[in-house]
Amino acid sequence: MRKLLLNSTAIASVAAITASITAVTASVALADVSISAFTEFTYTSRSSQVTANDGTSTSSDSEIAFTFSNKTDSGLTVSFTAELEADEGTATMDEGSFSISGGFGKVVLGQNDGAADNYGFNSSDLIAEDQGAVPTSASIGASTDVVTNDTRKIAYHLPAMGGFTAGVSHMNSGNTGATDQTEVGAKYVMEAGGNTITINGSSTTTEATTTDTDQQSMGITMVSGNLSFNLGQGTYQAVDEDRSSQGAAVSYKMGNGMTVGAYTFKSEDDLDAGEEYSQSGVEASYTIAAGLTAVVNVDDYDYKAATTADTDGTSVADSGTISSLTIKASF
């Protein structure tokens, strides 16, 4: 009788342990984990009027992203993403944030892109490796996009309504709030005559003791089969800065793994008399194999320094050509 009792107790214990393991396993199974990475190596040859910029160089860029996702019983999706910059012998955490999404939309907390990045527009988005070679010390920009960073912030994105999506984010700079930043952005995608048309717009305000920094960007992209075309403009206003920029780009998928493109860009600052920057270029991108791409770029640029005293420093006029070969891999 005692042996039977012991056996019954052992069986009950094993059953309890098995049930616990099953419950834990089921809980773990709900969490999806993914790891992705990219790396690229670039060889650049630059012809410049500035001796320090004239010559050849190499550069590289690599990143590893870890994403964990879990769906709760109530239907919410909770995710955590950490991005590791793994380049030039260093390893630093570039982004780290978690998000909660559901029927109400999506909330993102932590170090990640703001709304301006999520919905912003750059006229060279159709170009994979444009150089953006603004001369050293020049404050003028080389993009119609707004400039933000991955500082800690809170963001909210509306649930998609047809082809419309939008979001807002806020970065708190600390107790004094001297440099708080607010970003808003929106995107609308529609089909028209067999073409896909996307309209983007974003705005950023960074508070300052004297003059706030305000940025705006908007643009339109049309995709018709293998042909894509975009057009955009941007503004930047801050202390001693009143910039306006315009740009356009076109790309065509040739169907054999090759994509060709071209772009043009111009920016000028109304508060720094005579300061202008223009750049144009062509690109050929070839998919060698799945996840492996070679990109060749040739870009011409011309920078005219301000003809009056510039509070930004000692920017120097420069013009030249940049040719580059980039090998990219994604995993």
From first to last of its 331 residues, the chain has per-residue pLDDT tens of 434 333 444 444 434 444 443 443 444 445 799 999 999 999 999 998 888 888 999 988 899 999 999 999 999 999 999 988 877 666 677 788 999 999 999 999 999 888 888 888 888 888 888 766 665 556 677 777 787 778 889 999 999 999 999 999 999 988 887 889 999 999 999 998 889 999 999 999 999 888 899 999 999 999 999 999 999 999 999 888 888 999 999 999 998 899 999 999 999 888 877 888 999 999 999 999 999 999 999 999 998 888 775 555 567 888 899 999 999 999 9
Gap between the Cα atoms of 329 and 331, Å rounded: 7
Task: Give the ranges where 142-187 is alpha helix by DSSP (H).
Answer: none
In a domain, 21, yes or no: no
186-222 residues labelled b (16+ CB within 10 A) or e (exposed) = bbbeeeeeeeebbbbbbbbbbeeeeeebebbbbbebe
In a domain, 8, yes or no: no
In a domain, 19, yes or no: no
What does the pLDDT read at residue 137?
57
Report the predicted TM-score, pTM, of the whole model to 2 decimal places.
Answer: 0.79
Are 146 and 234 within 8 A, CB to CB? yes
In a domain, 197, yes or no: yes
| Listed residue (153, 161, 144, 158) closest to 200, CA to CA | 144
Q: 24 is written with which tokens?
A: 């834990």
Show the domain range for 139: 31-330
| Listed residue (37, 39, 43) closest to 296, CA to CA | 43
What does the pLDDT read at residue 134?
62
What does the pLDDT read at residue 185?
95
What does the pLDDT read at residue 89?
63
Are 120 and 185 within 8 A, CB to CB? yes
Task: CATH number of the domain at 218, please.
Answer: 2.40.160.10
In a domain, 233, yes or no: yes
Task: Give Cα separations from 175 to 12, 42, 149, 155, 172 (angstroms).
Answer: 58, 42, 20, 19, 8
In a domain, 25, yes or no: no
Gap between the Cα atoms of 33 and 40, Å rounded: 24
- Number of domains comprising the chain: 1
* Phi and psi angles of residue 201, each rounded to the nearest 5 degrees, phi first: -155, 140
In a domain, 17, yes or no: no
In a domain, 24, yes or no: no
